[in-house]
Structure 1
């Protein structure tokens, strides 16, 4: 791998890290940066490029684990081993079963319709449509969500809210809709404040994304070559670092700026892609 290729790995990792968990759709950004500019398919080959995108997604997932490490330790029942844990007492905390309840709807539909989604919903036109529809949903959440949310921390989330957010997460199976855009908006409409909805979104993202990425990586192990290994490593580190920064920055701001600025950005993104492509 030459320096130019490694620089492209850094750029793609940056795009993945900055956009995977913000409600702006990493799919839409990958279309602009990779498909329209860097074109990793050409210098890596289609299958190696696809494997690389799985690897950098795992870098982003690791960043979430680091940010919420105390929470995951508590969810797994290991809180006593972590004296510095800042999560709530065991009798009043988010439970692993609540997270599982939130994961079930999208997990089941994803398994049932995975091939259909890959075949029919990954075109540029369908992604642009979902970007716009996702933006509209985010605006609706900010406009019509409760002005004084009752659920102020993830430890106050009910099973009903967890299941409802899980059902809304199914919208994100449409590439471009954005998992975080759908679930944060859904959480806000269900009475959570924006930070709580974001925390729950990120916590749910780890098992479902790790599972999906892990299965995809197993299917593509033959393309995990020594020649491409430096490219994979650099991209993974880049995605991890930039995701770590973006997640912490996003969580500090989300209660203040809410979702409408991201919705406007998504609409502008659609206009840019449309102009460049058409």
Structure 2
């Protein structure tokens, strides 16, 4: 039996709330699915594909930025070329490594204890990086060097472990490489588009024969809910980061990960 309407809506809300903040949307979906009784192979496909709703929110909110880059590429504008190059360099490591470890990732998504531990470890890492990070020297995606973009892409691959957080790994990687906070967050948003499109396309292709009408309906509803919620969260996240940094999210990860670990071990 598939998930109920309420479970689909709740998971869509969880995805929209957590996709772009450094707390791991996949980790939250795994734990929420465990709590709500929706887990297993089918839940992994649902969790991966509804992320496209949150990705669409980025495209909508930054539509002028993307169209401006497209127009700039036609004019061979240096800034547009640098923007596109930096996204591609950040994206390629995830493709190369993801193809190798894909099955292991799917298996970990069915192991909630791994998620809880990764949430705690990621929270501690954010607190350490926030204290150690030096003065930024890069203030736009276009100004990032190819080495910086590729380095962030490699660090992003750590987020293939459920609970680490793609946005968290990308943003923290960018900070350690000299990118300022707002630019690091926006680069994470932009990089999510090709990364999640590729992950969702691969998952849908591999599961094309297993998905039925009810599955597509659940995915569609989760997609819409995550899209609407993410529209609000993205703007709010930028404001919070600009004023308070990433420490609040680190402490949240540690508290939630600890509570989840205790629950999983004693239930």
Instruction: Indicate whether the TM-score tops 0.5.
Output: yes
The question of 1:19 aligning with 2:6 is answered no
Match of 2:38 in 1: 40
**Once the 2 structures are TM-superposed, how far is the Cα of residue 127 of structure 1 from its aligned partner?**
2.0
For 1:122 and 1:232, the matched residues in 2 are separated by: 19
**Once the 2 structures are TM-superposed, how far is the Cα of residue 80 of structure 1 from its aligned partner?**
8.7
Q: 1:48 to 1:28 in 2, by over 3 A?
A: closer
Query: Residue 56 of structure 1: which of 39, 50, 57 is its match?
Result: 50
Gaps of 5+ in 2: none
Aligned length: 263
CA contact (8 A) 1:16 1:239 kept: yes
RMSD: 2.4
CA contact (8 A) 1:51 1:224 kept: no
**Once the 2 structures are TM-superposed, how far is the Cα of residue 108 of structure 1 from its aligned partner?**
0.8
Match of 1:248 in 2: 235
Q: 1:63 to 1:54 in 2, by over 3 A?
A: same
Q: Describe the SS at the equivalent of 2:213.
A: coil
1:92-122: CA deviation from partner (whole Å, max 9, x where unpaired): 3542122111112222111112123333575
Q: Please, which moves more after superposition, 237-246 or 110-119?
A: 110-119
For 1:232 and 1:183, the matched residues in 2 are separated by: 26
**Once the 2 structures are TM-superposed, how far is the Cα of residue 169 of structure 1 from its aligned partner?**
0.9
CA contact (8 A) 1:194 1:258 kept: yes
Matching of residues 205-220 of structure 1 within 5 Å: 205-220=192-207
Matching of residues 104-253 of structure 1 within 5 Å: 104-119=92-107, 122-146=110-134, 148-253=135-240
**Once the 2 structures are TM-superposed, how far is the Cα of residue 238 of structure 1 from its aligned partner?**
0.4
For 1:216 and 1:144, the matched residues in 2 are separated by: 38
**Once the 2 structures are TM-superposed, how far is the Cα of residue 79 of structure 1 from its aligned partner?**
4.6
Match of 2:67 in 1: 73
Q: Please, which moves more after superposition, 113-122 or 175-184?
A: 113-122
Gaps of 5+ in 1: 82-88
The TM-score normalised by the length of structure 1 is: 0.86
CA contact (8 A) 1:193 1:255 kept: no
Q: Describe the SS at the equivalent of 1:169.
A: helix
**Once the 2 structures are TM-superposed, how far is the Cα of residue 140 of structure 1 from its aligned partner?**
2.0
CA contact (8 A) 1:51 1:223 kept: no
